[in-house]
Amino acid sequence: MLLSLPFLLAGNLTPAISHADSDAVRGTLNFKPIAASAYNELTDDAAILNEATWIIPEGFKQTIISDEFNLDIYSSNDWPDMNTMNETGKKAGRFLYRTHEVRPGNDQRNDGGLGGSLSVVDLKTGDAKELYHRDDLEALDGLVWTPWQTLLFAEETTATVYPDPEIPSAPRGLLYELTPNKKDPSQAEKVDVRPLLGSLSHEGIEFDDEGNIYVIDEDRSGSVYKFVPDTYGDLSQGKLFALKVANGAQTGAAEWLELTLDPVTFDAHQAADDVGATAFCRPEDLERIGNVLYAALTCEPRVNGVDGPGAVLSVALGGAPVVNYFVEVGKNIGAEDPANGVTGFFRPDNLAKGPDGKLWIVEDNVPSDIWVADADQNGDGAADNVNLFASMKDNGAEGTGIYFGKNSNTLFVNVQHSATGNDKTMIITSLKTHQEDHDNADHKNDKDDSNHKNDNKDKNHSRDHK
């Protein structure tokens, strides 16, 4: 079911989980939380999954916009990971870009080659194609559109297999900047490596209003980093810092420590260790909402060396940073117990800013759940509520790359390493929202028609219900 989509251009006690008997979540994208994770509906039946991969709230629909039937790059699953759009500039919002997280040993291309890839989907026509490929790229993950109209993408690897020709001694992944063609953003003009953002197991990439770039090291002892360019929009010169929480803690008052990078290896993991930066258990994605930076941590909080179920960290920016657990099992969300079919929070992976400023979270888990965290209104550093929006039925896949684009009522999400062998990119949209948009367009056009009946000029008018 593959469609072209022109409309897209338009406390300490264990808390209760919000299910379908809870009050509806209010906001720009209203929904009634679903009842539970998809424990009882897991399947590898392609017919079922192509029709409805996710359990979603009433009043929403899900649609495949690209899969391996319209673009198939690799002989195995294509592993689409992060999503972003051309958010500004010419034809803004028309193109959806994706990284593909295939790794060495699993990156055999259908054209006989190897190496990582970025792809692009034209949301007006539904056409998908490869945007950029190189044999030395591996495990491409992080992806963002910058305010200066380029794409940042990066490798998530703790041990480089394919050395970069310009930085051959980098021990881990590198971050790259792709400049799209100004006339046609579906074409790559050039790609530059940006080693000053560190050789790391990169995933999340985020920026602030001053043009500083935040990245992470997806490692069991990984840090959170901040790159301050000498000149806004120029990532070839600048300084890299790592976050350190006071008193050896994981939360509390913190500071950014300047790093000294080896000019040959650019090993930011070692540089962070050298200054005693705080190590977190597998930082993953980053998202900034206002003056707060959020980081998904797969296995925090660790206790006596034992992995935790995962948490979402918040870092208050501006002045001296303050670090909190924004979403934490036992604080504002319950624990998962799959053996007994108990829905809960486990292995948060990717993050997205929702249309009304709420934080959306998808798990690296089976079943993969999507959660929505309300803002911290009472000032305790934690989300006031966390609600279950969706759960994946694909028995083997995870949801990745959640993203709200130009149409803020449309959630993009990838299905990665599907049990069917057919990875895909999907959208989840509100039927009510689109009906309201359609009705509003009809009302506006009716008024326009009425006004033009009194106009003696002969004009032709068209209506575009997006």
pLDDT in tens, 172-224: 999 999 999 999 999 999 999 999 999 999 999 999 999 999 999 999 999 99
In a domain, 426, yes or no: yes
Is residue 459 in some structural domain?
no
CATH no. for residue 284? 2.120.10.30
How far apart (Å, rounded) are the C-alpha atoms in residues 56 and 302? 32
Residue 37 belongs to what domain range? 6-453
Q: Counting Cβ atoms within 10 Å, is residue 27 exposed (0-12), middle (13-18) or buried (19+)?
A: middle
Q: Is the alpha carbon torsion for 400, 401, 406, 409 positive or negative?
A: positive
Query: Is residue 113 domain-resident?
Result: yes
Domain membership of residue 285 (yes or no) is yes
In angstroms, rounded to a whole number, what is the distance separating the alpha carbons of residues 129 and 187? 10
* CA diameter of the chain: 81
Q: Please tell me the distance from the alpha carbon of residue 107 to that of residue 353, in angstroms, as a whole number.
A: 31
Read off the pLDDT band of 408 (50, 70, 90): confident
Full DSSP string of 89-128: STTTTSEEEEEE---TTS--BTTS--SEEEEEEETTT--E
Range in 5-9, 332-336, 422-426 the model is least confident about: 5-9
Residue 433 has a pLDDT of 55
Q: Are 144 and 197 in contact (CB under 8 A)?
A: no
The answer to whether residues 370 and 377 touch, using CB atoms and an 8 Å cutoff, is no
Q: How far apart are CA 308 and CA 31, in angstroms?
A: 29
Reference 151, options 140, 167, 161, 162; nearest CA is 140
* pLDDT (tens digit per residue) in 114-133: 999 999 999 999 999 999 99
Number of domain units in the chain: 1
**Phi, psi (deg, nearest 5) at residue 110:** -70, -15
Amino acid at 216: I
Compute CA distances 86 → 89, 131, 181, 312, whole Å. 7, 13, 11, 27
Does residue 1 lie within any of the structural domains? no
- Residue at 154 is within a domain: yes
pLDDT digits (tens, 9 = 90+) for 411-453: 999 999 999 999 999 999 998 755 444 444 444 444 444 443 3
In a domain, 429, yes or no: yes
Cα(43)–Cα(274) distance, rounded to whole angstroms? 47
Element (H or E) spanning 444, and its range? helix 431-453
Give the whole-angstrom CA distance, residue 371 versus residue 66: 24
> Which has the closest alpha carbon to 414: 406, 426, 404?
426
Domain-located, residue 10: yes
